[in-house]
Amino acid sequence: MTNITTRKVKTGNYQTFLHEGGEKSAETIIFLHGSGPGVSARTNWQYILPHFSESFHVVAPDIFGFGDTDHPEEYPENGAKWMSARVDQILSLMDAMGVEKAHLVGNSLGGVISLNLLMYAPERFDRVVLMGAGGGLTEPTPELAKLANFASDPSEANFKNLFRWFLYDETFLEAELDNIVAERMENFNRPEVRRSFAANFKNSHLSDMLVPPSALRRMKNPFLLIHGQEDRFVPLESSLYVMKYLPDVQLHTFKQCGHWAQIEQKDRFIKLTTDFFKREI
């Protein structure tokens, strides 16, 4: 990624791996990725981080339990404790980097973490973009169930199917598909990554991800919700649930778009979110 550097920062008793770019004096945007097998900040955000670094200070960490962030030797007991650990991770990261206040972009699980950050430390955050976020998801789709059980049969063929399902139309990435699958499979097959993935889904439930209406209606931050109409991992209904209760919110849906708007609708995603962070919409 052009103009993006990587490093590790101490967060609590472990090191968080992150991608960083832009001028540190600019407004900070923290990008939080989702939870698929082999996922990392790089795989989720590599196509868009260089653009945002032109105007903002961008920080994209590997969330605790994923990627090159140090993996736990003892795992959280359940989904609620995983969430608390990740909230602590992001707040500790901000403290370590001297970031008093930041914007957020959260994809899927990253969107749920964003909402939890606002529940516990609203004064640390400004504008928030949630993309395919799961804060209102109550029942797993068949596709999400396949993702959660991926560690039971982590074959390349199964992962290639998962990747195709993330997208409405994978043909525009067909030339890159094998390389993307190979990179993510290599990440996933690291023993510590594989163990963390299995531990994360083993004792986690969707009820751990739900954000109560009583919390949502107290979030005064400006929100932009972005959702693919054909998202089969976190259906549009999740964003509609969140939108019902947030007091300052707008929703943008993309037709012919699945779970990864930042890839399938990259140019429009960049324009929309940049305008939002620059307070032009």
Catalytic positions, please? 108, 231, 259
Q: Give SS3 for 28.
A: strand
Closest CA to 220 of 245, 243, 248: 248
CB atoms within 10 A of CB 71: 21
- How many whole angstroms separate alpha carbon 17 and alpha carbon 99? 16
Closest CA to 63 of 93, 41, 38, 37: 41
Task: Give the chain's largest Cα–Cα span.
Answer: 47
Sorted by sequence, the CB contacts under 8 Å of residue 73 that are 6+ apart come out as none
- How many whole angstroms separate alpha carbon 57 and alpha carbon 72? 29
- How many whole angstroms separate alpha carbon 59 and alpha carbon 49? 9
Rg (CA), the chain: 17
Cβ atoms of 106 and 130 closer than 8 Å = yes
Cβ atoms of 227 and 130 closer than 8 Å = no
- How many whole angstroms separate alpha carbon 70 and alpha carbon 59? 17
